[in-house]
């Protein structure tokens, strides 16, 4: 019964993500339905998030928690550019597996469809990067791209942001420019008031959260156990807006 309910939830997510399931109305790439937060409003409720240590921490220092941690596992190839990060980590550029066909003519649709399949997956800080049964924020985005397109991204949000900054041809600092399949990066939660983010250092080194844009002002991401694991939320006029640092495409690259 529990498995059936989970599958129904996933199927519902897929329908709203692809714009299907609306009678004779033509499919529209509008991201998701009007259901904020997928099923609830927990990620915007101060009574919950002001006490939510995991949400406030994000994936900060996750690299210190992982035994044998490397920013990126893929080996350098003759087709890949390499950038050196602090800590002697290397960033290796990756591309979609050529054997994978784009859905509806766009690899972004492969990414969004796969993200929907992970909807509701439980949250775990410093989750096992080899096991997609639980996620923290950066493990989720990495697994979405790995399982949908065969692209093995870096393992933490700061390294993923550096990857986007190094290799993407389309980056931005205004959240209004987010498109389907983009990665979106945020600093730590400080509160629900925009004034609490005035003067905050929004450099890559202070990024602690990442999610995946669904377009139309929506994000699919995972922030904590208390907020329900992988979920869908609005981006406009809330703490996610105030925390936003950088966004960019992994599919429009240099």
Q: Which residues are catalytic?
A: 137, 209, 221
Q: 232 has which bridge partners? A: 220
What are the helix (H) ranges across the chain?
2-18, 46-49, 53-57, 62-65, 107-117, 137-149, 157-167, 239-243
The closest alpha carbon to 230, from 124, 95, 103, belongs to 124
Residue 168 backbone phi and psi in degrees, to 5: -80, 145
Quick one: DSSP state of residue 252?
A: S
Are 178 and 221 in contact by the 8 Å Cβ rule? The answer is: no
Radius of gyration over every alpha carbon of the chain, rounded to an integer in angstroms = 17
CB-based contacts of 166: which residues, under 8 Å, 6+ apart? Answer: 81, 83, 91, 93
List, as one string, the DSSP characters of 219-253: EEE---TTTTSSEEEE-TTSHHHHHEEEEE-SSSB
Residue 234 backbone phi and psi in degrees, to 5: -75, 150
């Amino acid at each position: 019964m529990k498995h059936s309910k989970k599958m129904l939830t996933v199927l519902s997510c897929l329908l709203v993500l692809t714009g299907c399931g609306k009678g004779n109305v033509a499919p529209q790439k509008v991201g998701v339905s009007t259901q904020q937060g997928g099923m609830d409003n927990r990620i915007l409720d101060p009574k919950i998030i002001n006490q939510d240590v995991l949400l406030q921490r994000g994936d900060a220092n996750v690299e210190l928690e992982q035994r044998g941690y490397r920013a990126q596992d893929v080996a350098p190839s003759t087709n890949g550019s390499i950038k050196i990060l602090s800590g002697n980590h290397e960033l290796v550029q990756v591309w979609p597996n050529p054997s994978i066909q784009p859905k509806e003519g766009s690899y972004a649709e492969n990414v969004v469809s796969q993200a929907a399949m992970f909807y509701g997956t439980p949250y775990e800080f410093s989750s096992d990067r080899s096991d997609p049964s639980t996620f923290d924020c950066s493990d989720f985005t990495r697994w979405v791209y790995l399982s949908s397109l065969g692209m093995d991204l870096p393992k933490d949000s700061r390294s993923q942001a550096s990857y986007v900054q190094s290799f993407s041809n389309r980056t931005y600092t205004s959240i209004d420019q987010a498109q389907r399949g983009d990665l979106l990066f945020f600093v730590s939660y400080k509160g629900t008031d925009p004034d609490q983010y005035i003067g905050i250092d929004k450099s890559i080194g202070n990024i602690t959260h990442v999610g995946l844009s669904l377009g139309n002002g929506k994000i699919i991401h995972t922030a904590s156990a208390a907020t329900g694991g992988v979920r869908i939320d609005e981006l406009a006029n809330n703490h996610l807006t105030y925390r936003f640092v950088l966004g960019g495409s992994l599919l429009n690259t240099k």
